[in-house]
A and B are shown apart, each in its own frame.
Chain A
Amino acid sequence: MEYLIGIQGPDFVLVAADTVAASSIIQMKHDYDKMFKLSEKILLLCVGEAGDTVQFAEYIQKNVQLYKMRNGYELSPAAAANFTRKNLADYLRSRTPYHVNLLLAGFDEADGPSLYYMDYLSALAKAPFAAHGYGAFLTLSILDRYYRPDLSRDEAVDLLKKCVEELNKRFILNLKSFSVRLIDREGIHDLERLPLPQQ
């Protein structure tokens, strides 16, 4: 039902998530933000079971901030991703596992942009592009076909639009709008919502 997508470029990462908060068959909210800002240049996109998503994402968010306060510098995206994975793995075989699927996107001064795919079984993979949800079945092949490592920002947004068009065309659920953000050397930028809001 929920959809996340991330596309990494040579010096940026583009991420998008649908903005529906649903409860069984009802849309409780249609402008819900599923992205959590871990630091100035790291975003965590989180979907999954009700309650677990917010609780886990905020837990990671606060711990990343705590690291910065204690040590004076921020966790890198790779370190944050592995920290997140370790936490997910530790809880996996406990009485209260977190059923969440994540995308972690960040920009590191030294290593450049990075996108990490993580699922509820605590698998972690660094990938040039990734998606979660039923929508991923429809859009991963589009990304396979048209992705290039040297995409410009506009080309990446076009690729994202292609994916959204496919969802609107073939996906049984109506995912009306997506929040889109771009991370680069300067930080996190909000891009226009897709599709453009109707007047």
Chain B
Amino acid sequence: MAAQHVRSLTCILVRLTVLNNSKGKEMGCHPGFGQLSHSGTTYGNFFLSRTDNPGQFQHGVIVAVDSRATAGSYIASQTVKKVIEINPYLLGTMAGGAADCSFWERLLARQCRVYELRNKERISVAAASKLLANMVYQYKGMGLSMGTMVCGWDKRGPGLYYVDSEGNRVGGDLFAVGSGSMYAYGVVDSGLRPELSVEEACELGRRAIYQATYRDAYSGGVVNLYRVHSQGWERVSQDDVLQLHQQYKAEAQD
């Protein structure tokens, strides 16, 4: 049977801080050929305070993803879980080859646990993302297809890194990844303000994924929203994109 691709993964990561720091990561993956792949838009938005005030309360990282998997033009699934829970304070998002993403991120979870056992402290987001980047770099050019965002909270505060199978690894405040990532970037970049509250940032992430699913054929399903704060990650909401459509339409008519 033909392999399936999760083509569009819409993931929005929004990191909010009281000081209006937000960071987001988005992942985008192009579908492989003849393999099950995830792709879509993952958007991560992370707000990072650039002031010299380290003792500020931070809202964290907001991650929003869609849930569609496609095999060519066939929609293989509308209920894919594109956020991988690496450990209680680290999340990974998936875009690209489904097998590649889930395998390597499970391997990353194992490595993170080994780190914890050896060093008696939690692994930092930077180190976790570097582990993943180094692991997949060994296979560069051999056909891996993976675009992921590693999001979490460590002693330096909220952390967001984009890692892909090409060997890219960048840390930042906001990323969007996937086939619908450009649509998500548009919504997030224009809606981002320094003083967003947690709910507003979640809504921005939700809206960005929705807009991406509206325009991108390979994104759709439901919008899964997570938030990573100082105590770890929590699942915020799951909204069907079609219901969001009705809701936003009704709001626009008011």
Binding site for B on A (CB under 8 A): 21, 23, 26, 28-29, 32, 49-52, 54-55, 96
A51 touches B170 (CB 8 A): no
Given known pairs A51-B137, A55-B137, the reply for A28 and B166 (CB within 8 Å) is: no
A61 shortest CB reach to chain B, Å: 14
B167 touches A55 (CB 8 A): yes
Given known pairs A26-B185, A55-B137, the reply for A50 and B172 (CB within 8 Å) is: no
8 cross-chain CB contacts under 8 A: A26-B185, A29-B172, A49-B166, A50-B164, A51-B140, A51-B167, A51-B168, A55-B137
**Is B182 among interface residues, defined by CB-CB distance under 8 A?**
yes
A54 touches B162 (CB 8 A): no
- The B161-212 residues at the A interface (CB cut-off 8 A) are 162, 164, 166-172, 175, 181-182, 185
Task: Name which residue of chain B comes closest to A23, CB basis.
Answer: B168
A29 touches B170 (CB 8 A): yes
Task: Name which residue of chain A comes closest to B176, CB basis.
Answer: A26
Interface size on B, residues (CB 8 A): 18
- Of the residues B167, B169, B172, contact of A52 by C-beta under 8 Å: B167
In Å, the complex CA distance between A29 and B171 comes to 8
A49 touches B170 (CB 8 A): no
A54 touches B169 (CB 8 A): yes
B219 shortest CB reach to chain A, Å: 16
- 20 more contacts with CB within 8 A, not counting A21-B168, A28-B170, A49-B166, are A23-B164, A26-B181, A26-B182, A28-B172, A29-B170, A29-B171, A29-B172, A49-B167, A50-B164, A50-B166, A50-B168, A51-B133, A51-B137, A51-B140, A51-B167, A51-B168, A52-B167, A54-B169, A55-B137, A55-B167
In Å, the complex CA distance between A90 and B169 comes to 25
B178 shortest CB reach to chain A, Å: 11
A21 touches B170 (CB 8 A): yes
Task: Name which residue of chain B comes closest to A27, CB basis.
Answer: B185
Q: Which A residues are in CB contact (< 8 Å) with B141?
A: 96
A92 shortest CB reach to chain B, Å: 15
A50 touches B167 (CB 8 A): yes
